[in-house]
Amino acid sequence: MTEGADVDAVTRAIAERRQLVNEAIPQQLPIKRPERLYEASRYLLDAGGKRLRPTVLLLTSEALMDVPPLEEDYREFPAPNGTIDMMVAAVSVEIIQSFTLIHDDIMDDDDMRRGVPAVHNEFDLSTAILAGDTLYAKAFENMLETGATAERSVRALSELSTTCTKICEGQSFDIDFETREEVTTDEYLEMVELKTAVLYAAAASIPAILLGKDDAVDALYQYGLNVGRAFQIQDDLLDLTTPSEKLGKQRGSDLVENKQTIITLHARQQGVDVDSLVPEDDVEAVEEETIEQAVATLEEAGSIDFARDLAHDLIEEGKEHLQVLPDNGARDRLADIADFLVEREY
């Protein structure tokens, strides 16, 4: 495996697949009666997104079948017996992601998402709940349309439904942690695994299920799980270490909002009085100097390094699991994506 991401190659690999996924979304989720419902269902999907999970799914498919990247039509992707529509599986995973964002924004009372109003703001609460529910069903409908054998479809559906259950459990823990006095780093990591990582794990392993590459399913699941965990830890780090203008929001906003992260939980375990680090409660009112001082304290406690090392270890472990794949360009890009997720600065 290469050390460090080939940034150009990975950026291009994501951009090329994002374009194809963006074209497939309106085909798989057309606006029809009742229009307002489908417009709300499409709203966040149309607002953008990196399409990382479908990209992982499509790259994994190419790596497994050892075909040159982008040479095969994802709609008629070569399987051991006949072809399957891998794009509907990719869209299915992205639809699940979008459904969770819509409902999470209601629960977290977040007003904005991807630079546009959250669905419950742009439309209304009822429409947002219902748009999420519609996407949920559409994700399953799409995953049933790959044309894979019934046995493989059943296993993919089973993976998708247990993934959804886990995402709900993770979100439940996350909400619970907001009001709990003591949360351990292990509990936090369990929450991250459930809320975030399992969907990456599903994206990476479902191609192996659909293509009948049973020996690769577990390793690819672990790749996705580790990459997904690292992704969330990197998000926690970026909030503290990236300048506000690059981040697109106030640096240290997690500290201002008293959000538990792997960094603050570690610091707490080291005896740092995390609650006093940033006395302000308003992101607008906080001074850059206060944040800098807080970050310095967290650095002294070893909490920043703890998170960085953890993300790095997870990525390395994740990449190890890619050994299950043939040595090819798509596998290199999956390794790049892993590195890229922890090397990115915003």
Q: Which residues of this protein are in contact with its own copies, per CB under 8 A?
A: 33-34, 36-37, 103, 106-107, 125-127, 129-130, 132-134, 136-138, 140-141, 144, 149-151, 153-154, 157-158, 160-162, 164-165, 168-169, 171-173, 175-176
Burial class (CB in 10 A: 0-12, 13-18, 19+), 109: exposed
Q: Scanning the structure block, which residue is given the tokens 């992707």?
A: 77
- The smaller minimum CB distance to its own copies, of residues 162 and 244, is found at 162
Closest CA to 246 of 115, 344, 114, 112: 344
Distance, CA of 164 to CA of 157 (rounded, Å): 11
- The smaller minimum CB distance to its own copies, of residues 8 and 33, is found at 33
- The smaller minimum CB distance to its own copies, of residues 116 and 168, is found at 168
Residue 53 near residue 93 (C-beta atoms within 8 A): yes
Residue 241 near residue 304 (C-beta atoms within 8 A): yes
Nearest distance from C-beta of residue 188 to its own copies, angstroms? 14
Residue 56 near residue 224 (C-beta atoms within 8 A): yes
- The smaller minimum CB distance to its own copies, of residues 17 and 213, is found at 213
Distance, CA of 303 to CA of 314 (rounded, Å): 16
- The smaller minimum CB distance to its own copies, of residues 198 and 291, is found at 198
Nearest distance from C-beta of residue 131 to its own copies, angstroms? 8
Nearest distance from C-beta of residue 166 to its own copies, angstroms? 9
Nearest distance from C-beta of residue 164 to its own copies, angstroms? 4
Distance, CA of 340 to CA of 125 (rounded, Å): 36
Nearest distance from C-beta of residue 30 to its own copies, angstroms? 12
Nearest distance from C-beta of residue 88 to its own copies, angstroms? 13
Give the start-end residues of each E strand in 133-279: none
Residue 44 near residue 114 (C-beta atoms within 8 A): yes
- The smaller minimum CB distance to its own copies, of residues 179 and 276, is found at 179
Three-state DSSP at 146 gives: coil
Three-state DSSP at 116 gives: strand
Classify each residue of 52-80 as buried b or exposed e, where b means 16 or more C-beta atoms within 10 Å of its C-beta.
Answer: bbbbbbbbbbbbbbebebbebebeebbbe
Residue 95 near residue 135 (C-beta atoms within 8 A): yes
Nearest distance from C-beta of residue 50 to its own copies, angstroms? 24
Tell me the two tokens of residue 166.
Answer: 């886990």
Nearest distance from C-beta of residue 105 to its own copies, angstroms? 11
- The smaller minimum CB distance to its own copies, of residues 34 and 279, is found at 34
